[in-house]
Amino acid sequence: MSEYEELRMAFTAAVSHELRTPLARLLALLESAELPGADLSGLLQRARVEVEEMTELVDDILFLSALEGEREVVSLGDTLAGPVLREAVEERRERAERAGVTLEFGLEDEELRVPLRRRMLSTVAENLLENTIRYAGEGATCVVTLRREGDRIVLEVRDDGAGVPEADAPRLFERFFRSDRARTTRGSGLGLAIVKHVVEAAGGNVEARGARGRGLDVRCSLPG
């Protein structure tokens, strides 16, 4: 069996496993709705959440598959980064506040551009922010910065929240990998895998550093 076939089979098995969990919860909710005195309104609301989770997972799978089929599309052209990143932060500020997370944004130079289409840069920023909002924990502060380092442009999303075990940090970009806290939190498990794919397709690299109780630092380095 070729390496590609092994990867494809592993990915198919992972997708099946990830879909099975919300489907099982949805079935349990429907069965509960048939019981006498069931809170139909509450059960329907919880069922809606499960359907939305499955929809998110399917959307992310399709998006990742499209990226893998058209890697060259990722880096066609370049984008003035500041407005895109600022918009991504502002759109999530209210939800971050509800999660007890404070968002901050710093831009070294308003003229900084990155070798990504606008949609791809937005996708990277949105997934990094969603990851922080979901997992950093109440009381955390997340700082988003963009700066030049030599011939590279570095997008960094750093928080001082719950963090992850140090050994888990390099694995965060694997499809469906979840560290301890993430295993009990909703999400497709593909957000950081998408970030890695987009950044590397544009000739960049991505790394994560963190420790339990000392936050998480994700750095995306792109050609400048």
pLDDT tens digits, one per residue of 85-142: 999 999 999 999 999 999 999 998 899 999 988 888 988 999 999 999 999 999 999 9
**What is the model's pLDDT at position 214?**
85
Structural tokens at position 37:
């005195």
Asked whether residue 57 falls in the same domain as residue 167, the answer is no
Could you give the angle at which helices 40-69 and 3-33 cross, rounded to 10 degrees? 170
What 150-154 contacts at long range (C-beta under 8 Å, 24+ apart), as own/partner pairs, is 150/224, 151/223, 151/224, 152/204, 152/221, 152/222, 152/223, 152/224, 153/81, 153/112, 153/113, 153/114, 153/221, 153/222, 153/223, 153/224, 154/219, 154/220, 154/221, 154/222
Asked whether residue 136 falls in the same domain as residue 184, the answer is yes
How many CB atoms are located within 10 Å of the residue 48 CB? Answer: 12
Domain-terminating residue out of 49, 69, 89: 69
Q: 51 pLDDT exceeds 90?
A: no
Range of 50's domain? Answer: 3-69
Q: 183 pLDDT exceeds 50?
A: no
CATH number of the structural domain spanning residue 12: 1.10.287.130
Asked whether residue 162 falls in the same domain as residue 63, the answer is no
| Domains in the chain, number | 2
**What is the model's pLDDT at position 160?**
93
Which percentage of the chain shows pLDDT scores above 70? 78
Q: 220 pLDDT exceeds 90?
A: yes
- Taking the model in full, what pTM does it have? 0.70
Q: 14 vs 83, which has greater pLDDT? A: 83
Q: Between the ranges 1-15, 19-33, 46-60, where is the mean pLDDT highest?
A: 19-33
Asked whether residue 58 falls in the same domain as residue 97, the answer is no
Asked whether residue 47 falls in the same domain as residue 89, the answer is no
Asked whether residue 53 falls in the same domain as residue 100, the answer is no
Domain-terminating residue out of 22, 47, 69: 69
For residues 160-168, average pLDDT: 88
**What is the model's pLDDT at position 184?**
44
For residues 179-195, average pLDDT: 63
Domain-terminating residue out of 38, 69, 100: 69
**What is the model's pLDDT at position 206?**
95
Asked whether residue 52 falls in the same domain as residue 145, the answer is no
Q: Among the listed ranges 35-39, 56-60, 80-84, which one has the minimum average pLDDT value?
A: 56-60
Q: 109 vs 23, which has greater pLDDT? A: 109
For residues 29-54, average pLDDT: 85
Asked whether residue 103 falls in the same domain as residue 210, the answer is yes
Asked whether residue 61 falls in the same domain as residue 113, the answer is no
Sign of the four-CA dihedral 181, 183, 186, 190: positive
Q: Among the listed ranges 61-75, 98-112, 189-203, 206-220, which one has the minimum average pLDDT value?
A: 61-75
**Which residues lie closer than 8 Å to 7 by C-beta, 6 or more apart?**
none
What 28-35 contacts at long range (C-beta under 8 Å, 24+ apart), as own/partner pairs, is none
Asked whether residue 123 falls in the same domain as residue 168, the answer is yes
